[in-house]
Amino acid sequence: MNVPVNSILGLAFVLYEDEPVLRQTEGMQHVYKVSSLYKSKSNTVHHCRSFRSFPSTEHSLSLTSCFPSNIFKQLLRLKSKMQQALNTRSVRSNNSVTISVDNFSTSTWEYITSSLHRHGINLSRSTTVIKSAFMERDSYVVQKFRGELFSFELTLPNHFHVAQLLFGITVGLGVRFIVPCSMRGADHNETVESSRVISHGDIINVVPFFGDRIQNDSLERAIILRYIPITGVLSVTIRFIRVHDVNEMQFYLQQRGILQPDDISNNDGAAFPLHSDVEVHGKKIISVCFTNSIVTLSDGSNCTIADVINYYRNLI
């Protein structure tokens, strides 16, 4: 079915809860995680996979010509390249890295800039010199012409929320250590993963947005995106600071919602979820009927919602 572009009000990326790519999207706008199906006729929630994720993360089912799929994939590609660049261990004094992404779609650029407009961030427009070259028989030809260049900067405290919506909660955060990840012995289709938690003694790279390290000169911290539509080239410059102090590091992690203050845990008004990952006596919840308050467990047995609440209240 063909839908006119001017009829599209917005995009929603809907993924089932077991999609591995969900780990890369925390905090990104328009990304929804689904675990259950609600049937209004029986007033029952079933914890099951009842749909195919959109955009599909299975290569054989990927809609390569579908522009929402292209937008989603290019956003993740851009996010990954920015992360790899910000993980620099360079000791240069300017604390700046730049990446370039070729064949960046105008649809993805318009998706990004639409968020800027909604939050009152201005998009700059200028011209730049574009160079091309080719061989014509035995002659080497160089051509130059002027084309449009669009750019914007994410530098101020009120830009931080928009940056997280576009690139996730960890935007502007990089590490300066290496995490070994060997493929030796792995199967052909196997994904190998390694990780390491940031700890005391580490140094991190941060685009601060907030904090005492921010100077009047915005050159010390910024994420700058520049896009040339005619060539499809997007360049991103990230200016960061290096942080070693434990208290300062904790501040920037808490700022992004990665760490919570010690006193944030409070059992007052505790909520007892009935999600698909909740276990009652070692058995997961399969469905919840709100009409008769019956909960069905993975072994086929039933209990009431009150039984689940009492079970977890006794664990506290």
Give the integer Cα–Cα distance in Å for 118 and 72.
20
The reported pLDDT for the residue numbered 216 is 45
The reported pLDDT for the residue numbered 268 is 47
Average pLDDT over residues 62-77: 77
Does residue 86 carry a pLDDT above 80? yes
Instruction: From residue 141, give the alpha-carbon distance in Å to each of 133, 179, 231.
Output: 6, 46, 18
CB distance 35 to 16 below 8 Å:
yes
The reported pLDDT for the residue numbered 40 is 87
Average pLDDT over residues 188-202: 88
The SS3 of residue 190 is coil
Give the integer Cα–Cα distance in Å for 20 and 28.
15
Average pLDDT over residues 158-162: 92
> Model confidence over 105-134: pLDDT tens digits?
998 999 999 888 888 898 999 999 999 999
What rounded mean pLDDT belongs to the chain?
84
Does residue 176 carry a pLDDT above 60? yes
Q: How many other C-beta atoms can be found within 10 angstroms of the C-beta atom of residue 205?
A: 22
Which position has the token pair 């054989």? Answer: 60
Does residue 186 carry a pLDDT above 50? yes
Structure confidence at residue 211 as a pLDDT band (50, 70, 90)? low
Which position has the token pair 């501040």? Answer: 251
Partnered with residue 132 across adjacent β-strands are 143
Assigned token pair, 4: 């006119």
Give the integer Cα–Cα distance in Å for 279 and 78.
38
Does residue 55 carry a pLDDT above 70? no
| Percent of the chain predicted with pLDDT > 70 | 85
CB distance 124 to 150 below 8 Å:
yes
Give the integer Cα–Cα distance in Å for 290 and 109.
44
Q: How far is CA 51 from the centre of its chain?
A: 22
Structure confidence at residue 57 as a pLDDT band (50, 70, 90)? low
Give the integer Cα–Cα distance in Å for 69 and 185.
33
**Of 124-138, 188-202, 208-222, which gets the smallest average pLDDT?**
208-222
**Of 19-33, 58-72, 241-255, 279-293, which gets the smallest average pLDDT?**
58-72
Domain limits of the chain?
A: 66-178+199-261, 279-315
Give the integer Cα–Cα distance in Å for 101 and 214.
29
> Model confidence over 21-36: pLDDT tens digits?
888 999 999 998 888 8
Does residue 9 carry a pLDDT above 90? no
Does residue 263 carry a pLDDT above 60? no
Assigned token pair, 294: 């019956």
